[in-house]
């Protein structure tokens, strides 16, 4: 049973699907399904879809506690992959393992292989990996600097030779910052004064600034950990449109507790439960015709 | 923003009257009556009044000290005292001013702060961001706690022992017979730095611990190293706490007497040899040691000078305290300050 949702259509006014009956396990009404198909067709087509990251039987643990068990997935550029599941199902841990942020936590252990463009991520230098696989967090967390410096901070190369010098605003950096802000759909709102502190922006603007910051270093994969859970519906809609429009140039993985959101933005959906990957497939398939009983219960709101 | 303007949000046209909202409610405002202690049990009332009395008593004592010193200080302080050196005369008129002790105080504060602040911030960063191995971090923490509890006179005595070692003779002038005295601005300043170190570490360490881990993660997720994160994100975030720690350290150094009397000599004049280094290796006085010297307990026994100097010292301490309060109040975002105007507000409190 799909939740009452709309898919994002970039080139038309938002359409709200007629609310489906609340989850009781019946097959969805035909109207909802056909509407879904219609809205999906309205999403901007992507020229090419190609594989960026591959997870092969990945296991992750904190201490002796295995929180992700034997997960295999593919992350493709040109698509949005949504990880859904109840709290404690290992979604965030799995997401953080993609750019090795799990390593910050004491006692983190792993097994299996995570590859970025065919290369094992653990063979890469960790900071260059994180520049290629960037992340946006649940809470907007701009740094206590100006808007410009927030984005420029992500850009700056770390060369010890000029470490002590103050970074100059070269036209190059300026262009890159403006480009990143434009991609995050924030530039028009802040163009007047890039030097004011980022902390005075609204929550939604701060989160888009964080996305701009994550995009600044031109990553290949963008990880989003519940990016809208601290935001109001209007900011959420803006960011969802942004996610859909970005998927052409960067592979996107989003963790969300919001099923409607997953349905609105995702091309593929992975449903996790207690650390295991229960179901992985196209969004329509997972929401409309789940093959697993657990998935059907979760997407219809029986638990979670 | 994909905001669809609703009817309410549309800009009112000229013929459309927008009702003015009144500044105050037109209905009667109700405020809860102030609670009276009359209904309380007797024991509660007695305890309440005891607490009240102690608080008021403390304020009275503080006000008494400040007022008394102000009256005495203003009546005895002459501007010429601030610029003339103390002279070895018995009479009040001939004994000069206390420019040397003022300069001495500034030198000692400069040396002590210049040592305590960077070292203290380094220790705080290590304790909060690295702290490996664990046992060493715990040892450092308890050492700092112990150091904070050591009386400054004990510290001074130990400093004298250390600084009179031959290896450290470059820090102080040697006596005529060639022995290392261990008494100089440098040795006293260094000991003051050790004295103030726990204050600086605590202020910075507490602030760093209060920063949520997502701040660090955000920087790491952008592919930044720990050092870059510390320099460009963490330290700017705790700017106001660091400043408060620095000011507290200065206040501590300004007020200490024991270290000065033991490690800076008993005189009231700066006795420089030649040049800047000669000055730093020479002996001298600070306001605290000058007050002691001129008090009825000291050799000078010129209480008017002592009151005047005490007034100046009190002013310095009050100003430093005021600066510390002002900086730390800005933490809560209660008011706009120079720091937040420069874009250095404290972000992680929301």
Q: Which tokens sit at A95?
A: 């997401």
What is the rounded CA–CA span in Å between residue B255 and residue B275? Answer: 27
* CA nearest to B318, candidates B67, B57, B86: B67
Judged by a CB distance cut-off of 8 A, whether residue A285 touches chain B is no
Contact residues on chain B for A143, CB-CB shorter than 8 A: 215, 218-219, 232-233, 236-237, 347
Chain-centre distance for alpha carbon A29: 30
Residue range B246-257, pLDDT digits in tens: 998 999 999 999
The ipTM value here is 0.77
Q: Does residue B5 have a pLDDT over 50?
A: no
Residues B151 and B167 in one domain: yes
Q: Three-state SS for B295?
A: coil
Residues B115 and B52 in one domain: no
Give the mean pLDDT of chain B: 83
Q: Let me know if residue B323 belongs to a domain.
A: yes
From residue A134, give the alpha-carbon distance in Å to each of A100, A107, A253, B217.
11, 23, 10, 11
Q: Does residue B339 have a pLDDT over 60?
A: no
Residue scoring higher pLDDT (B4 or A215): A215
Residue range A173-206, pLDDT digits in tens: 888 899 999 988 899 899 888 888 888 899 889 9
What is the rounded CA–CA span in Å between residue A53 and residue A268? Answer: 14
> Are the beta carbons of A23 and A300 closer than 8 angstroms?
yes
Interface of A with B in 77-116 (CB under 8 A): 99, 101, 104
Give the model's pLDDT for residue B183.
87
* CA nearest to A152, candidates A174, A121, A128, A130: A174
Q: Let me know if residue B64 belongs to a domain.
A: yes
SS (H, E, C) A257-303: CCHHHHHHHCCEEEEEECCEEEEEEEHHHHHHCCCCHHHHHHHCCCC
| Reported confidence tier of residue A42, pLDDT bands at 50, 70, 90 | low
CA distance A240 to chain B (A): 11
> Are the beta carbons of B87 and B94 closer than 8 angstroms?
yes
Classify the C-alpha dihedral B61-B66-B71-B77 as positive or negative: positive
pTM of the model: 0.75
Report the residue of chain A nearest B238, measured CA to CA: A144
Judged by a CB distance cut-off of 8 A, whether residue A16 touches chain B is no
| Backbone φ/ψ region at A160: left (φ over 0), alpha (ψ -120 to 50), beta | alpha
Instruction: Give A242's Cβ-side CA count (13 Å radius).
Output: 30
Give the model's pLDDT for residue A129.
92
* Percentage of the residues of chain A whose pLDDT score is greater than 70: 82
Give the model's pLDDT for residue A213.
92
Judged by a CB distance cut-off of 8 A, whether residue B1 touches chain A is yes
List, as one string, the DSSP characters of A78-120: TSEEEEEESTTSSHHHHHHHTTTGGGGSTTEEEEEEEEETTEE
Q: What is the b/e burial string over A216-239, where b = at least 16 CB atoms within 10 angstroms of the residue's CB?
A: bbebbbbbbbbbbebbeeebbbbb
DSSP state, B343? T
Q: Which tokens sit at B36?
A: 């009276």
Judged by a CB distance cut-off of 8 A, whether residue B347 touches chain A is yes
DSSP state, B297? T
Chosen for mutation from A129, A141, A207, A243 (greatest number of chain B CBs closer than 10 Å) is A141
Report the residue of chain B nearest A126, measured CA to CA: B223
Judged by a CB distance cut-off of 8 A, whether residue B7 touches chain A is no
A240-266 average pLDDT score: 90
Residues B142 and B250 in one domain: yes
* CA nearest to A264, candidates A75, A11, A40, A84: A40
B183-194 average pLDDT score: 93
Residues B131 and B147 in one domain: yes
Domain-ending residue, one of B23, B56, B76: B76
List, as one string, the DSSP characters of B30-67: --PPPPPGGGS-HHHHHHHHHHHHHHHHHHHHHHHHHH
Instruction: Find the DSSP H helices in B221-350.
Output: 226-229, 235-237, 239-255, 258-263, 275-281, 287-294, 303-329, 338-341
Across the beta sheet with A221-225, the strand order is: A119-120, A108-116, A50-62, A65-77, A276-282, A268-273, A80-85, A251-255, A221-225, A133-136
Residues B206 and B107 in one domain: yes
Q: Let me know if residue B36 belongs to a domain.
A: no
Instruction: Give A254's Cβ-side CA count (13 Å radius).
Output: 31
Residues B69 and B117 in one domain: no
DSSP state, A19? P
Give the model's pLDDT for residue B340.
44
Q: Let me know if residue B231 belongs to a domain.
A: yes
Q: Which tokens sit at B176?
A: 């005529």
What is the rounded CA–CA span in Å between residue A86 and residue A256? Answer: 10
Nearest to A158 among B1, B214, B228 (CB): B228
- If you average pLDDT over each of A184-193, B11-20, B330-339, which comes out highest? A184-193
Contact residues on chain B for A223, CB-CB shorter than 8 A: 221
CA distance A145 to chain B (A): 6
Nearest to A197 among B218, B225, B343 (CB): B343
Number of domains in chain B: 2
Preceding omega of B133 cis (within 30 degrees of 0): yes
Residues B169 and B139 in one domain: yes
Q: Let me know if residue B146 belongs to a domain.
A: yes
| Cβ pair A145:B343 closer than 8 A | yes
Residue scoring higher pLDDT (B171 or A212): A212
Q: Does residue B10 have a pLDDT over 60?
A: no
Report the residue of chain A nearest B130, measured CA to CA: A104
What is the rounded CA–CA span in Å between residue A185 and residue A207? Answer: 11
Residue range B261-302, pLDDT digits in tens: 999 887 788 876 677 777 888 888 899 999 988 888 888 778
> Are the beta carbons of A269 and A262 closer than 8 angstroms?
yes
* Percentage of the residues of chain B whose pLDDT score is greater than 90: 36
Give the model's pLDDT for residue B28.
83
Residue range B50-83, pLDDT digits in tens: 999 999 999 999 999 989 988 988 888 888 888 8
B237-243 average pLDDT score: 87
Contact residues on chain A for B3, CB-CB shorter than 8 A: 234
| Reported confidence tier of residue B85, pLDDT bands at 50, 70, 90 | confident
Domain range for B309: 80-334
Q: Which of A154-163, A258-267, B169-178 has the lowest mean pLDDT?
A: A154-163
Residues B181 and B262 in one domain: yes
**What is the CATH number for B124?**
1.10.3720.10
What is the rounded CA–CA span in Å between residue A146 and residue A163? Answer: 20
Residues B127 and B265 in one domain: yes
Q: Let me know if residue B2 belongs to a domain.
A: no
DSSP state, B206? H
Residues B49 and B171 in one domain: no
Contact residues on chain A for B330, CB-CB shorter than 8 A: none
H/E stretch holding A255 = strand A251-255
CA distance A25 to chain B (A): 35
**Angle between helices B303-329 and B287-294 in degrees, nearest 10:** 150
Give the model's pLDDT for residue A304.
62
Residues B203 and B84 in one domain: yes
Judged on CB neighbours under 10 Å (0-12, 13-18, 19+), A275 is: buried
What is the rounded CA–CA span in Å between residue B61 and residue B171? Answer: 42
| Cβ pair B218:A128 closer than 8 A | no
Q: Which of A87-91, A125-129, B29-33 has the lowest mean pLDDT?
A: B29-33
| Cβ pair B220:A104 closer than 8 A | yes
| Cβ pair B224:A158 closer than 8 A | yes
Q: Let me know if residue B3 belongs to a domain.
A: no
DSSP state, A200? G
H/E stretch holding B345 = none
Q: Which tokens sit at B180?
A: 């290392």
| Reported confidence tier of residue B212, pLDDT bands at 50, 70, 90 | confident
Q: Let me know if residue B344 belongs to a domain.
A: no
Contact residues on chain B for A239, CB-CB shorter than 8 A: none
Residue range A59-71, pLDDT digits in tens: 999 988 899 999 9
Residues B104 and B224 in one domain: yes
Q: Does residue A12 have a pLDDT over 80?
A: no
* Percentage of the residues of chain A whose pLDDT score is greater than 90: 38
């Amino acid at each position: 049973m799909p939740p009452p949702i709309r898919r994002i259509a970039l080139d038309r006014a938002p359409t709200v699907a007629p609310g489906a009956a609340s989850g009781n396990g019946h097959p969805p009404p035909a109207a909802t399904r056909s509407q879904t198909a219609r809205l999906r067709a309205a999403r901007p087509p992507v020229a090419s879809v190609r594989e960026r990251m591959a997870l092969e039987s990945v296991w992750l643990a904190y201490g002796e506690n295995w929180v992700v068990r034997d997960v295999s997935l593919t992350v493709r550029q040109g698509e949005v992959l949504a990880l859904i599941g109840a709290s404690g199902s290992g979604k965030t841990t799995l997401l953080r393992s993609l750019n090795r942020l799990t390593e910050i936590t004491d006692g983190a252990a792993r097994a299996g292989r995570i590859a970025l463009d065919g290369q094992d991520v653990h063979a890469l230098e960790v900071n260059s990996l994180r520049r290629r696989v960037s992340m946006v967090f649940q809470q907007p967390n701009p740094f206590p600097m100006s808007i410009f410096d927030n984005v420029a901070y992500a850009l700056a190369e770390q060369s010890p030779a000029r470490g002590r010098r103050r970074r100059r605003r070269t036209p190059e950096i300026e262009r890159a910052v403006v480009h990143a802000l434009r991609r995050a759909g924030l530039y028009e709102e802040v163009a007047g004064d890039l030097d004011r502190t980022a902390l005075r922006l609204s929550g939604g603007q701060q989160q888009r600034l964080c996305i701009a910051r994550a995009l600044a270093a031109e990553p290949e994969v963008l990880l989003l950990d519940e990016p809208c859970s601290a935001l109001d519906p209007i900011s959420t809609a803006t960011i969802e449109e942004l996610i859909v429009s970005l998927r052409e140039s960067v592979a996107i993985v989003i963790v969300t507790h919001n099923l409607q959101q997953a349905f609105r933005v995702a091309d593929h959906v992975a449903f996790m439960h207690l650390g295991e990957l229960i179901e992985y497939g196209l969004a329509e398939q997972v929401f409309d015709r789940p093959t697993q009983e657990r998935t059907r219960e979760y997407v219809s709101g029986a638990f979670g | 923003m994909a905001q669809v303007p609703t009817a309410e949000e549309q800009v009112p046209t000229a013929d459309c009257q927008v009702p003015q909202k009144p500044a105050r409610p037109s209905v009667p405002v109700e405020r809860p009556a102030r609670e009276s202690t009359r209904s309380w049990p007797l024991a509660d009332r007695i305890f309440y009044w005891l607490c009240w009395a102690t608080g008021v008593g403390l304020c009275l004592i503080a006000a008494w000290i400040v007022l008394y010193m102000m009256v005495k200080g203003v009546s005895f302080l002459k501007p010429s005292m601030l610029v003339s050196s103390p002279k070895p005369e018995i009479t009040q008129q001939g004994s000069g001013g206390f420019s040397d002790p003022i300069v001495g105080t500034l030198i000692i504060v400069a040396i002590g702060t210049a040592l305590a602040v960077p070292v203290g911030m380094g220790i705080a960063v290590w304790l909060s961001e690295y702290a490996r191995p664990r046992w060493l971090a715990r040892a450092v923490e308890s050492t700092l706690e112990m150091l904070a509890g050591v009386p400054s006179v004990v510290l001074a005595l130990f400093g004298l022992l250390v600084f009179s070692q031959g290896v450290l003779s470059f820090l102080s002038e040697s006596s005529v017979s060639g022995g290392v005295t261990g008494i100089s601005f440098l040795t006293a300043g260094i000991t003051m730095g050790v004295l103030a170190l726990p204050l600086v570490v605590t202020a910075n360490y507490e602030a760093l611990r209060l920063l949520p881990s997502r701040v660090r993660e955000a920087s790491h997720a952008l592919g930044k190293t720990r050092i870059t994160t510390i320099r460009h994100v963490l330290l700017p975030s705790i700017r106001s706490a660091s400043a408060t720690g620095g000011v507290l350290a200065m206040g501590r150094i300004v007020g200490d007497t024991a270290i000065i009397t033991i490690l800076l000599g008993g005189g009231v004049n700066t006795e420089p040899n030649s040049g800047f280094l000669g000055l730093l290796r020479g002996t001298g006085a600070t306001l605290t040691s000058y007050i002691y010297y001129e008090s009825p307990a000291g050799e000078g026994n010129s209480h008017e000078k002592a009151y005047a100097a005490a007034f100046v010292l009190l002013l310095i301490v009050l100003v430093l305290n005021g600066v510390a309060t002002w900086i730390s109040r800005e933490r809560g975002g209660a008011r706009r300050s120079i720091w937040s105007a420069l874009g250095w507000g404290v972000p992680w409190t929301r």
